[in-house]
C-alpha cells in the first residue's frame, strides 16, 4: 500500500448536492472508491479540515469548506527518469519533468509525481504546480514556493501572459515539403467520451495555436508549437486536425487499449520553453531546456 506523504485538497461545492455529512459527499464525489474505504480513512484520522481538526463520520457538510485527505493506492509504479531544477528563487521554481512522470498525484500515482518529488528534495512542503502538463508529456513546469505570491503567477496564466513553446514530432508523407510553413489553428474543443478525452466540435472557437514546421526527414517532421490558449490536449488535437497526429500518442486519433508504459516510445511532445514578465519584480523571465526532440 502506497500512501501519499502530502494531503490532497478538496473544496466542498457552494451548492449542496443533497447530502448531510462530509462523508456522504466524499462517497458520491469519488464513486470508484468504496464507501468503506472513506469510512476507514476517517476513522484513521486521514481526513481533516484546513486547521487540522479531524473530520468524523458525523461532520456536517459545509459549503466551500476545505477538506484534506491522503490518497492511497495498492501499488505505485516507480518512474525511472529524473527531474531537473532549472531555476529557484523566493517565489517560484522551474523544473524539467521527464516523460511518464505525473505532475501531481492522480490515478495510481501518489508520491511518484514531480510535485511530491520536489517537495522531498527541496524541503518546501508548500510547493505547488501553477499549471498542467500531461504525464506523458515532458518539459518545463513552473511551481509556486511562496503561498503569499502564488496568486500573482496564477493571474499570468488566467490572462494569457505566459508564452509557451513546445516541440512535437509526427509522421508525414514522403515528398511533401513542410519546413518553413506555418498554420494557425482555431476551433472548439469539448469533453468527449470517455470524459478524459477531448474532441473538436462546431461552434465558437475556444482554442488557438500557432504551429510551424522547423525540420523534416523522409517520413517525419519536427514542429514548433505555440499555444495561445490552454485547453486540455489542445496541441495533440491541433496536430491531429492538421493531419499529423503526434508520434506515439495513445489517445489521438484513436484511443488505444490500456497497457503498461513503453519507456522506449514516449509521446513526442516536449514543453521546451516558457517566457513571461515576473509579476512580483517585473523582471523578464525566459526558461528553456537544452533537450530537443530528434528526428531519427
> Which residue, 73, 101, 126, sits at the end of a domain?
73
Q: 65 and 127 share a domain?
A: no
Is-cis flag, bond preceding 274, omega within 30? no
Q: Beta strand pairing status for 128-129 and 2-3?
A: unpaired
Q: What is the pLDDT, as a whole number, of residue 59?
A: 97
290, part of any domain:
no
167 beta partners: 224, 270
140, part of any domain:
yes
Could you give the CA distance from residue 156 to residue 163 in angstroms, rounded to a whole number?
10
> How do the pLDDT tens digits run along the chain, 296 residues long?
778 888 888 999 999 999 999 999 999 998 888 899 999 999 999 999 999 999 999 999 999 999 999 888 878 899 999 999 999 999 999 999 999 999 998 888 989 999 999 999 999 999 999 999 999 999 999 999 999 999 999 999 999 999 999 999 999 998 899 999 999 999 999 999 988 899 999 999 999 999 999 999 989 999 999 999 999 999 999 999 999 999 999 999 999 998 999 999 999 999 999 999 999 999 999 999 999 999 97
CA distances to 7, 77, 102, 137, 254 from 260, in Å: 27, 10, 15, 16, 17
123, part of any domain:
yes
Q: Beta strand pairing status for 8-11 and 66-69?
A: antiparallel
Q: What is the pLDDT, as a whole number, of residue 107?
A: 82
Q: 155 and 175 share a domain?
A: no
Burial 222-253 (b: 16+ CB within 10 A, else e): bbbbbbeebbebbbbbbbbbbebbbbebebbe
CATH number, domain of 66, equals: 3.10.290.10
What is the distance of C-alpha 269 from the center of its chain? 13
What is the distance of C-alpha 157 from the center of its chain? 14
Q: 89 and 137 share a domain?
A: yes
**Of 73, 168, 59, 65, nearest to 112 (Cα)?**
73
Q: 157 and 171 share a domain?
A: no
Q: What is the pLDDT, as a whole number, of residue 206?
A: 97
What is the distance of C-alpha 112 from the center of its chain? 14
> Taking the model in full, what pTM does it have?
0.87
Q: What is the pLDDT, as a whole number, of residue 33?
A: 86
293, part of any domain:
no
CA distances to 30, 45, 51, 181, 232 from 25, in Å: 9, 17, 20, 52, 27
Q: What is the pLDDT, as a whole number, of residue 112?
A: 93
279, part of any domain:
no
Q: 154 and 169 share a domain?
A: no
Q: What is the pLDDT, as a whole number, of residue 125?
A: 93
Q: Which domain holds residue 192?
A: 163-270
Q: 148 and 246 share a domain?
A: no
Phi, psi (deg, nearest 5) at residue 38: -65, -40
> Which residue, 161, 195, 220, sits at the end of a domain?
161
285, part of any domain:
no
Could you give the CA distance from residue 112 to residue 56 in angstroms, rounded to a whole number?
29
Q: What is the pLDDT, as a whole number, of residue 192?
A: 93
Q: Can you point out the beta strands (E) in 98-162?
A: 128-129, 138-144
CATH number, domain of 92, equals: 3.30.2350.10
Residue 1 exposure: Cα atoms within 13 Å on the Cβ side? 4
Assign residue 36 a region: left if phi > 0, alpha if psi is -120 to 50, beta otherwise?
alpha
Q: What is the pLDDT, as a whole number, of residue 294?
A: 93
Q: What is the pLDDT, as a whole number, of residue 50?
A: 92
> Which residue, 161, 178, 205, sits at the end of a domain?
161
Q: What is the pLDDT, as a whole number, of residue 71?
A: 83
Domain count, the chain: 3
Q: 154 and 177 share a domain?
A: no
281, part of any domain:
no
Q: 97 and 37 share a domain?
A: no
Q: 168 and 130 share a domain?
A: no
Angle (deg, nearest 10), helices 35-43 and 22-29: 140
Q: 134 and 169 share a domain?
A: no
Amino acid at each position: 500500500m502506497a500512501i501519499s506523504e502530502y494531503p490532497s485538497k478538496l473544496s466542498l461545492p457552494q451548492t449542496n448536492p443533497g447530502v448531510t455529512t462530509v462523508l456522504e459527499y466524499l462517497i458520491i464525489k469519488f464513486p470508484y472508491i468504496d464507501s468503506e474505504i472513506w469510512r476507514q480513512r476517517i476513522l484513521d484520522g486521514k481526513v481533516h479540515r484546513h486547521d487540522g481538526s479531524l473530520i468524523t463520520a458525523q461532520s456536517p457538510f459545509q459549503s466551500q469548506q476545505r477538506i484534506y485527505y491522503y490518497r492511497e493506492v495498492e501499488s505505485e509504479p516507480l518512474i525511472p527518469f529524473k527531474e531537473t531544477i532549472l531555476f529557484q528563487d523566493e517565489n517560484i521554481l522551474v523544473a524539467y519533468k521527464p516523460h511518464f512522470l505525473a505532475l501531481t498525484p492522480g490515478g495510481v500515482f501518489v508520491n511518484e509525481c514531480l510535485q511530491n518529488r520536489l517537495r522531498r528534495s527541496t524541503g518546501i512542503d508548500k510547493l505547488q504546480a501553477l499549471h498542467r502538463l500531461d504525464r506523458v508529456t515532458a518539459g518545463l513546469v513552473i511551481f509556486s514556493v511562496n503561498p503569499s505570491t502564488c496568486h500573482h503567477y496564477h493571474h499570468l496564466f488566467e490572462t494569457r501572459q505566459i508564452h509557451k513553446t513546445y516541440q512535437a514530432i509526427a509522421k508525414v508523407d514522403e515528398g511533401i515539403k513542410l519546413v518553413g510553413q506555418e498554420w494557425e489553428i482555431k476551433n472548439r474543443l469539448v469533453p468527449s467520451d470517455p470524459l478524459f478525452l477531448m474532441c473538436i466540435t462546431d461552434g465558437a472557437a475556444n482554442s488557438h495555436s500557432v504551429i510551424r514546421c522547423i525540420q523534416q526527414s523522409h517520413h517525419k517532421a519536427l514542429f514548433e508549437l505555440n499555444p495561445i490558449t490552454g485547453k486540455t490536449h489542445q496541441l495533440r488535437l491541433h496536430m491531429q486536425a492538421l493531419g499529423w497526429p503526434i508520434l506515439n500518442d495513445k489517445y489521438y486519433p484513436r484511443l488505444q487499449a490500456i497497457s503498461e508504459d513503453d519507456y522506449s516510445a514516449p509521446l513526442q511532445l516536449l514543453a521546451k520553453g516558457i517566457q513571461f514578465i515576473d509579476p512580483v519584480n517585473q523582471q523578464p523571465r525566459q526558461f528553456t531546456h537544452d533537450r530537443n526532440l530528434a528526428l531519427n
